[in-house]
Amino acid sequence: MRVLTIAAAILLSVPIPAAAQRAPASRLTDAQLNDSLELGQEIESRVDGDLNGDGLIDTAYVAGSPDARTVTVLIAQRPGAKTPFRSIGDLKLEPSPLGPATVSIAKGVLKVEDLTGGGTAISAIYRFRIDPGQGKGQGRMRLIGLDATLYSRTYAHDGYEMSWNLLTSDIVTRDLRLNKGGGDAAYDKVFEHRSRRPSKPLYMEDTPDPEMIMVDLRKR
């Protein structure tokens, strides 16, 4: 429904004679994107770039409201398609951000950075790449990397961090100890552990909660 709303916003913004002569634009303006949002939603951040190597400009954006936040990926369609964009993934983020999430695209990889929590915070970095063989052959956004750090913003307790490469199954974890010996670093990284965590392909909608993964890893 949201993609159809975006498509309508684009078509309404193009003069009728021009719309009859050419396909819808392959890039959303901020105004068009804002017009597609639901009541109470605001754009935290957005990025435009080519995610699937077809030369068209795709868009990823974070929309937030008081009780929900979502990353949405829109793939631009070739001229003549029924809609100018096609949604291929949605990532639900925690609804308690400590600042706006950021999205970036480099070499076909979408990176989402988010900081949530309160006195205890979780910094998470998600990396996604299109899996062209999924979604009825039209592609889905596959999770290929997940980094996360749990720490105290008031230096009240120790922390923990992990880095998981889902393509190789390699995962690195470190305990973070409060630095009591002086220096600028708030934490000392200790007890590094390397292991493997095999997983079936995970897509945007299947992305696990990084806090729950860290809880599971610390039990082992």
**pLDDT value, residue 206:** 95
pLDDT of residue 23: 37
Torsion of Cα atoms, 123 then 96 then 126 then 49, to 10°: -120
Residue 115 CA to residue 101 CA, distance in Å, equals 7
Residue 115 — φ and ψ, nearest 5°? -130, 120
Domain count for the chain, please give it.
1
- Rounded CA-CA distance 51/58 in Å is 6
CA atoms within 13 A of residue 163's CA, in its CB half-sphere? 5
Average confidence (pLDDT) per 10 residues, the chain, 220 residues: 53 42 56 87 94 92 94 90 89 94 96 96 97 76 97 93 98 94 82 95 96 92
> Which residues span the domain enclosing 57?
2-219
Do 130 and 88 touch, CB atoms closer than 8 A?
A: yes
